[in-house]
Structure 1
Amino acid sequence: MLDGPRLAPLSGRARQLVVILHGYGADGDDLIALGEAWRQALPDAAFVAPDGPEPCDHMPSGRQWFPLDLRNPREYWLGCIGVRAAIDCFLDAELRRLALDDGALGLVGFSQGTMTALHVGLRRKNAPAALVGYSGRLAGPDSLAEVTVRPPVTLIHGGLDDVIPAVDMGVAATALSSAGLAVETHLIPDIGHEIDGRALGFGLAALSRGFQAD
C-alpha cells in the first residue's frame, strides 16, 4: 500500500484532495512542498505526496514508480500499466477517507510522476477535477482511444530541461488535444528540469479552476 506525507486542510474540513506524484529517484517528502506553497490559496484542500512503490534502481535513497533502464516508449508504457493499479487503489482509499469523489481530486505529477499521473488520471471511472503535469511526457500517445474520462490537463515545462526535452510537452499536448481533451501548456524558457515560482502559479491556477468547476 502506498503512503507518504500529508497536509491537512487549513480550514479543518477537506473539500478537495490534491495528490502529488514525485519524479524518478525522489520521494513524497520532495514534493509535499508544493502543497505547502498552495495550501493558503486552497484552504479546503488536503494534500498527500505518496512515495513510489519501489526503491529507485539507480538512486537507492529515492523511490520510483517503475524502472527506467531503457528509457524508451515501450518501457514508459509498460511501466505505467504496471503501477496503475497501486495508484488507483491509493486514490480510492484517500478519497474514501475524506468522503470525497473524483470530482474533488487534483492529480499532479513531476517528471516520471507526470507520466503516471496522466496515465492513471485519464483512465479513472470518473474524471478528476484537474490533471497537472510538470516536466514530463505522455506514455502511449497512440493509445488514447482507451481513455475513459477527459479532465482538463495543464502541462508545464522548462525550456532548458536537459532531462526531458520541452518538445515532449508539445507532443503530449497534440496527442491529448486530438483525443478531445482540453489542454493548456506553459513553457518557461529560462528554467530546466525544475519547478519555480511561475510554474507553481500555473499549477495553482489549474487546480483552482478545476475545483471551482466542480
Structure 2
Amino acid sequence: MALKFISIPPETRKPPHGLIVILHGWGANAEDLTSLAPMLRLPEYQFIFPQAPFPHPQAPLGRAWYALETPEYKGLTETQNQVKEWLESLEASTGVPLSKTILGGFSQGGAMALDMGRYFPLAGLISLSGYLHFSPEPLDHPLSPVLIVHGKQDPVVPVEAAQQARNVFQQLGAQVEYQEFNMGHEIRPEVLGLIRSFVMNCMP
C-alpha cells in the first residue's frame, strides 16, 4: 500500500532544486505541517508531506506511524517497509535524486526520519522534537548530516531524548547540528531559520 502524501511544487514553477520531505507527528496527518512550506522561504524546493498509514486511536482525523499506546511499537516494521519502498520510488516520481532530498519530521515523524534516513544517501536529516525508537548499529556507508532541534521544556518528549539521539549519531560518525530552545513540544519561528540554513548548507 503506497503512502498518501501532499506535494507542494516550487514557487518558482521551475524544476525543483531539491526535495524536502516532512513527516508529521503522532495524531496529526499530512496537512498538519504544510504551512511550513511558505514559512521556510525556500521557493526553489518541492515539499512533500506524507501521511502515516495507521489511524490514531483517539483523534478521528489523526494518523500514526506506529502504536505508542503499548511498549512494543506495534506496526513499526510495517511502516518501516512502507516508508523504505516509498523513499526508493521518490526519484522516479519526482525526478529529484535522493542526494538532493532532505528527510525530516516532527515528534514521532522525527523518530521515523532518523530511523529510515540512515539507510539512504540523502542530503540531510532533520528531527524536530524527536527521539530514537531504535538502537542504531554502525553502517557500511557514511551517514547524512543531521539537524536536531528540541525544546528544553518539552512535556511530551523530554529533551534528554534529543541529547541521546545527538550522541548516538555523533558516535556513528554523522555530522550533527544540535540546538535547544526555550520552548515546549512545538516549532517556533526561530526554528525555521535553522532549518532553512541547514537545507541551504546541505544543498548549496
Into which bin does the TM-score normalised by the smaller protein fall?
A: over 0.9
Q: Per the alignment, in what secondary structure is the counterpart of residue 137 of structure 2?
A: helix
Query: What's 1:92 paired with?
Result: 88
If the length of structure 1 is used for normalisation, what is the TM-score?
0.88
Q: Per the alignment, in what secondary structure is the counterpart of residue 86 of structure 2?
A: helix
Gap runs ≥5 in structure 2: none
CA contact (8 A) 2:28 2:63 kept: yes
> Within 1, Cα distance between the matches of 2:64 and 2:185?
17
Query: What's 2:12 paired with?
Result: 11
CA contact (8 A) 2:9 2:46 kept: yes
1:122 lines up with 2:123 in the alignment: no
CA contact (8 A) 1:23 1:110 kept: yes
Query: What's 1:200 paired with?
Result: 192
Note the C-alpha offset of 1:148: 4.4
Q: Per the alignment, in what secondary structure is the counterpart of residue 147 of structure 2?
A: strand
Match of 1:82 among 52, 75, 78: 78
CA contact (8 A) 1:123 1:149 kept: no
Gap runs ≥5 in structure 1: none
Could you give the per-residue CA deviations for residues 136-180 of structure 1, whole angstroms, max 9, x where no partner exists?
A: 101223x32247440000000011100000111111111110111
Note the C-alpha offset of 1:37: 1.2
In structure 2, what residue type is equivalent to 1:206?
F
> Within 2, Cα distance between the matches of 1:115 and 1:100?
24
Q: Per the alignment, in what secondary structure is the counterpart of residue 34 of structure 2?
A: helix
Q: Indicate how the Cα distance of structure 1 residues 172 and 99 shifts in structure 2: closer, same or farther if over 3 A, else same.
A: same
Query: What's 2:43 paired with?
Result: 43
> Within 2, Cα distance between the matches of 1:147 and 1:81?
22
> Within 2, Cα distance between the matches of 1:187 and 1:46?
27
CA contact (8 A) 2:142 2:173 kept: no
> Within 2, Cα distance between the matches of 1:43 and 1:95?
20
Match of 2:181 among 168, 183, 188: 188
In structure 2, what residue type is equivalent to 1:45?
Y
CA contact (8 A) 1:80 1:139 kept: no
Could you give the per-residue CA deviations for residues 45-70 of structure 1, whole angstroms, max 9, x where no partner exists?
A: 10011110111123232001111112
Coordinate RMSD, CA, aligned: 1.6
> Within 2, Cα distance between the matches of 1:147 and 1:112?
26
Query: What's 1:140 paired with?
Result: 134
In structure 2, what residue type is equivalent to 1:195?
I
Query: What's 1:156 paired with?
Result: 149
Higher helix share: 1
CA contact (8 A) 1:6 1:32 kept: no
